[in-house]
Every structure is written in C-alpha cells, then in structure tokens.
Amino acid sequence: MLVIKTITELRKWRNSIKGTVGFIPTMGYLHEGHVSLVNLARKDNEHVVVSIFVNPKQFGPGEDYKKYPSDEKHDLELLEKFHVSVAFLPDVEEIYPPDFESKISVTKMSIILEGEKRPGHFDGVATVVAKLFNIIQPNRAYFGQKDAQQVAVIKKMVSDLQFPIAIKVGETIRQKDGLALSSRNTFLNEKDKKESTVIYQSLLLAQNLVNKGVRNSREIMTAMRQLIEKTSGKIDYISIADSQKLNEIENIHGDTLVSLAVYFDKTRLIDNCILKI
Amino acid sequence: MLVIKTITELRKWRNSIKGTVGFIPTMGYLHEGHVSLVNLARKDNEHVVVSIFVNPKQFGPGEDYKKYPSDEKHDLELLEKFHVSVAFLPDVEEIYPPDFESKISVTKMSIILEGEKRPGHFDGVATVVAKLFNIIQPNRAYFGQKDAQQVAVIKKMVSDLQFPIAIKVGETIRQKDGLALSSRNTFLNEKDKKESTVIYQSLLLAQNLVNKGVRNSREIMTAMRQLIEKTSGKIDYISIADSQKLNEIENIHGDTLVSLAVYFDKTRLIDNCILKI
C-alpha cells in the first residue's frame, strides 16, 4: 500500500496506472463500516484509494472538529490488511491553501435536516468531495448509508454537475446491539453506550408500526420520540422524508427515509433506515 | 464534425476516442476571437470540442439573455471549416433539468468588478463551466483574455478544486480600429461602432502614461475617464488591479490588469489589457 500525502504525488500515481479506481473518502478512525466499503470497492475495481482527511469545512463553530478522534497507525494497518492500493492523507493546507475560496452548494437539500442543524455542513462536504474526486478521478466512489443525507447530497451533486463517477452506497454496519458504527461512538461512556441502542430500537419500532399498517408520519415519529425519551438521549430531530429529495412527507410511501439525530451527553449520533412497505 | 445535443451522446463519443481533447466553451454567434481559440486548441490536441450554450445562470434579471444574438447555421459552418471534431449544442433543459440545485462559487473573486455589477454572474459561469468540464473531460480548455475576470475566476476554480485540466488563454482579437471582438458588438449602431473604439484608445492611453513613468492608478483612471467622457459612452467601471487576485491596487506593478466596462446605449462592452512596465 502506498501512503501519499500530496496532490502532486497522487496525480503521478493516478496517471501511472491502468484499470478502474474505487474511492472511499473518510475522516479516519476507521471501523468495520469503512472496511465494508473497502470490500465493496475491491470487488468492483482494480485499485482502491481511501482518503483520510478530517475536513474542517464540514464542522460548525461549536462542533467537535478539534477533538474528532484519530488513530493513524491503526487506520493504516487496517487499510493495508484489506489490500487498499493507496491511502491518501493530505494535510489541511494541501486541501485548503490559505487563498482557497471556492465552494459547492447543493442549495435546497443542504439546508434541511442535518443541514438545518449544522449550517454549512453539506457545503463543506460537497466541496471537499468534489475536490477529492478531481484529484483521485475514481470510476466509482463509496459512501455509507448511515450518512443518508450525505449520500443524497453527493448523488445530487454528481448528477447536477455530471461528475463521471458512479456513486455506490454500502449498508449501515451495526454492533450486535444495533448501534450504528461511527467514529464518534468512542466518545460515549458505558451508560450512554447502552442507552444509545434506543436509536436503532426506535427505527425498528417505526418499521414495526408500518408493518401493522400505520402510514401517518406524525404517529410514527411520536412513538419514536416517546421511546427515546425514556432514556437520557436528547432528540435533535426525527424526520420522515422522501429518500431521494429529502422533503418531509405526511404519509409514508414506498421510498421513505426515517432519519434522526440524538445527543447522548455532548455526543451527537445519527441513524436512519428506509422503511419497507 | 459531429453535432451532439445530449450529454449521453457526448459521453459515448468521449469514451470512444483516444488522444487529448481541447475544449472551448462559447455562447455562440462566433467570431474571429473564437476561431483563434479553436486554432490554439487544434495545435495542442487531437480532438477539439466547442460548446455553444447561452447559459441563463450567468445573466442577471435585467440583462440581455433573451436577446443574446445567435446564428446556429453560421456557427456550425465556421466550426466545420476550422476542423472542430465536435460541436456540443445542449438545450437549456439538458444542462439545467427542473430540479437542478447545485452551485459553484469562487467566493471572493466573484463579487468584485464585473461580479459587483452583475451579481451571480460568475457563480453561473463557474457552475456551467464545471459541468461542461465534467461532461467533456478535456485535457485543455481555452478562454479569451477579453473576459479577463472570467479567466481569473475559472483559473481559481480549477486550482481550488483541482480539476485535471490545463487552462489556456488566447489573446484578445480586435478589429483594425481596436474594438475587441464580441458577439454583443452586433447590437451597436453605426455611430456607437465608431465611438466605442474609445475603449481601446483608453487602454492605449493607460499604457502610454505608464511608458511615461506614471505609476499612480488614480491618475491613469482619471485620464481614461476623461477620454471616454468625450463620447456618448457611459462608464460602468474602470479598474486597475492585480491580474491574478483582481484586488485593486494604488500603484501599478509588473502584473497589473486595467479593465473597464462601458455602455453604448444599452450595449455593455468590456475590455482590458495587462500593462507593460
């Protein structure tokens, strides 16, 4: 595995190879969710590039940019073990030199749900992903369904701006107790680790209600809310929306996304599922 | 020469060829300025693509989008004559389907000079050029120096977002009387055609003053203003700025851009030169 830190060196590698490239952008502190994307990419492509870059532009002022967890040694060992071709680890200055001033916005989709709670977040995501796309020039890029809105925003950007890249989505990987894997889980104390499984429980409850014939979004969200409020979790939002356009809907239909964000202490966890009808 | 109207068909062509691609984005109503860019592109590349697309997103509400001149038959004959490989003529709906919502901003550089006078103009330019880049995937793209700020904005976008494309700039092509070629010249009546040569005269005057040792921007701009005010031209702005960053400067240095916009009746003409020191 090559470990590359500069755009120039990455470009040189890219121009030297033949065959297709699969790309997984990450912020590091890798877990089985990332590994599952690496495995998907390995099946489809001759080469797999994983970037590790904690992107300052997708964090708001009060957010956890400075304490975002990192473990470069463990990450590189993991990527080597799963036969990644290139680990791309640029510095912040390599991606954002001091005079950087370009921004990509997927305007409507970026200001709702996560975007309403985290202003500017998806502009930061879209901008860095576009730049990484242009640097790495992958044939396919892989994202986890856990970040459902990120997936929707990236798909929209790729379609709107016609990046010549196929976007592939890997399913959310969970612990046995249902908690979706996330680098941020490391911030949870023992009590919150247990209690936070209520997030997945609330998604199962939503599916259960649908199975019983419930179609009204408000009814489902109220039941989810009541379940979560039995714990110390503080709900940031619960949303039932069209899974592509992300506009909230009153009655669920065939392609409906339930998503939510819940705080346990200062740790904000997100999760979602597509309802089966 | 292939005439292609859809993204799908363009992609098919792009994936079928070998060798380098030079690309010239235009809004049609082609003149010798465009031809000079085609000739540059032909020298450097195996294939040359010219797009003709009057981009609604780069026109403001009161501007001349609806009456922008067009002559598709003449344009295609000209491109054929100069051995262009592909003329790409997408409809507005092909580039901007109804649910299009992505935007690229080169934030600082887009709100000064032309951008101050034409809010949103350079976001529209950057967005369509990025989309055309992703569709056509050229090795080199060619722009005319006449639109100096457009060149600066595109270069900044390409550098910030690392599009794998070299930006080449062709010199401004002028009539014998000095008027810079522009599709908008067609709107000028006989009197304004003569009077508008004062724009170039004012640039020559600026260079003349520099030759005589003048370095103060204000002094140069005042002289230019006085010259233009002898005609019916209404000055929109005159600027003396760093040619890369476009920030206005008090004293001219080695890489200084003089640019201006002047109305003759309702027709807004722009021109510029790099001062030789």
- Residue B9 φ then ψ, to 5°: -70, -40
Q: Taking the CA of residue B196 as centre, how many other CA atoms within 13 Å lie in the half-sphere pointing to its CB? A: 29
Position B69 scores a pLDDT of 97
CB-CB under 8 Å, B135 with A162:
yes
Q: What is the pTM of this model?
A: 0.96
CATH architecture of A2-170: 3-Layer(aba) Sandwich (3.40)
Sign of the alpha-carbon dihedral angle for A215, A216, A220, A221: positive
- Best of B125, B159, B162 to substitute, by most chain A Cβ atoms within 10 angstroms, is B162
Residue of A nearest to B244 (CA): A99
Average pLDDT over residues B267-275: 97
CB atoms B107 and A127 under 8 Å: no
Do B165 and B158 touch, CB atoms closer than 8 A? yes
Which of B111, B161, B165 is the best residue to mutate to test the A interface, defined by the most A CB atoms within 10 Å of its own CB? B161
User: CB-based contact (8 Å) between B107 and chain A?
Assistant: yes
Interface check A167 vs B, CB under 8 A: no
Asked if A109 reaches chain B (Cβ–Cβ under 8 Å), the answer is: yes
pLDDT at B254: 85
Rg (CA), chain B: 19
Rounded-to-integer distance, Cα A64 and Cα A59, Å: 7
Q: What is the mean pLDDT of residues B238-266?
A: 95
Would you state the pLDDT for residue A181? 98
**Predicted pLDDT of residue B182:** 97
| Interface membership of A78 toward B (CB under 8 Å) | no
- Cβ–Cβ < 8 Å for B225, B235: yes
List the 125-164 stretch of B: residues with Cβ below 8 A of A. 126-127, 130-131, 134-135, 137, 156-157, 160-164
Which pLDDT value is given to residue A143? 98
Distance (Å) from the C-alpha of residue B261 to the closest C-alpha of chain A? Answer: 25
C-alpha atoms less than 13 angstroms from C-alpha of A263 in its C-beta half-sphere:
8
Helix or strand holding residue B106 (H, E)? strand B102-106
**pLDDT tens for residues A205-263?**
999 999 999 999 999 999 999 999 999 999 999 999 999 999 999 999 888 999 999 99
Residues of A in contact with B55 (CB under 8 A): none
What secondary structure does DSSP assign to A222-264, as a single string? HHHHHHHTTSS-EEEEEEEEETTT--B-SB--TTEEEEEEEEE
Tell me the CATH number for domain B183-274. Answer: 3.30.1300.10
B161 contacts in chain A (CB < 8 Å): 102, 104, 127, 130-131, 134
pLDDT in tens, B221-238: 999 999 999 999 999 999
Q: Does B102 touch chain A (CB under 8 A)?
A: yes
DSSP for A6-38, written as a single string: SHHHHHHHHHH--S-EEEEEE-SS--HHHHHHH
Could you tell me how many CB contacts below 8 A there are between chain A and chain B? 70
Q: How far apart, in whole angstroms, are the C-alpha atoms of residue A108 and residue A122?
A: 11
CB distance A127–B161 less than 8 Å?
A: yes
- In percent, the amount of chain B with pLDDT more than 70 equals 100
Active site residue B34: yes
Whether residues B164 and A127 touch (CB distance < 8 A) is answered with: no
The mean pLDDT of B181-202, rounded to a whole number, is 97
Distance CA A201, CA A196 (A): 9
Q: What is the pLDDT of residue B48?
A: 98
Q: Tell me the two tokens of residue A128.
A: 């860095």
Tell me what the pLDDT averaged over chain B comes to: 97
Contact of A233 with A262, CB cutoff 8 Å: yes
Q: What is the pLDDT of residue A127?
A: 98
Q: Which fold has domain A183-272?
A: Pantoate--beta-alanine Ligase; Chain: A,domain 2 (3.30.1300)
Which residues in B lie closer than 8 A to residue A55 (C-beta atoms)?
none
Residue A267, pLDDT score: 96
Which residues on neighbouring strands pair with residue A264, listed in sequence order? A267
Angle of CA points B37, B38, B39, to nearest 5°: 90
**Between chains, do A107 and B102 touch, taking CB under 8 Å as contact?**
yes
pLDDT of residue B207: 98
B132-173 pLDDT, tens digit per residue, is: 999 999 999 999 999 999 999 999 999 999 999 999 999 999
Pick among A132, A162, A244, A247 to test the B interface (most B CBs inside 10 A)? A162
Written as tens digits, the pLDDT of chain A (277 aa) is 999 999 999 999 999 999 999 999 999 999 999 999 999 999 999 999 999 999 999 999 999 999 999 999 999 999 999 999 999 999 999 999 999 999 999 999 999 999 999 999 999 999 999 999 999 999 999 999 999 999 999 999 999 999 999 999 999 999 999 999 999 999 999 999 999 999 999 999 999 999 999 999 999 999 999 999 999 999 999 999 999 999 999 999 888 999 999 999 999 999 999 999 9
CA nearest A130: which of A25, A1, A2, A56? A25
- CA geometry: angle B212, B217, B222, nearest 5 deg: 85
* Widest pairwise Cα distance in chain A: 57
Q: Where are the domains of chain A?
A: 2-170, 183-272
Minimum distance, in Å, between the CA of residue A140 and any CA atom of chain B: 15
Does residue B180 carry a pLDDT above 90? yes
Could B107 and A106 be called an inter-chain contact, meaning their C-beta atoms sit closer than 8 Å?
no
Interface test with A, best of B51, B101, B132, B133 (most A CBs within 10 A): B101
Contacts of B134 in chain A (CB under 8 A): 161-164
CA–CA separation, B270 vs B183, rounded Å? 12
Instruction: Tell me if A156 and B102 make a contact (CB, 8 A cut-off).
Output: yes
Of B99, B106, B134, the CB nearest to A162: B134
pLDDT value for B151: 97
- Provide Rg for chain A, Cα atoms: 19
Residue A151 identity (one-letter amino acid): V
DSSP state letters, B27-80: -SS--HHHHHHHHHHHHH-SEEEEEE---GGGS-TTSSSTT----HHHHHHHHH
Tell whether A12 is within 8 A of chain B (Cβ).
Answer: no
Looking at the complex, does the CB of residue A51 fall below 8 Å from at least one CB of chain B? no
Instruction: Give Cα separations from B13 to B17, B96, B164 (angstroms).
Output: 7, 21, 19
The model's pLDDT over B27-54, given as tens digits with 9 standing for 90+, comes to 999 999 999 999 999 999 999 999 999 9
pLDDT at site A123 = 98
User: Can you give the pLDDT at residue B79?
Assistant: 98
Report yes or no: A141 and A133 within 8 Å, Cβ to Cβ.
yes
Kindly determine whether residue A157 and residue B11, on different chains, have CB atoms separated by under 8 Å. no
The answer, for B244 touching chain A at a CB cutoff of 8 Å, is: no
As for the ipTM of the complex, it is: 0.95
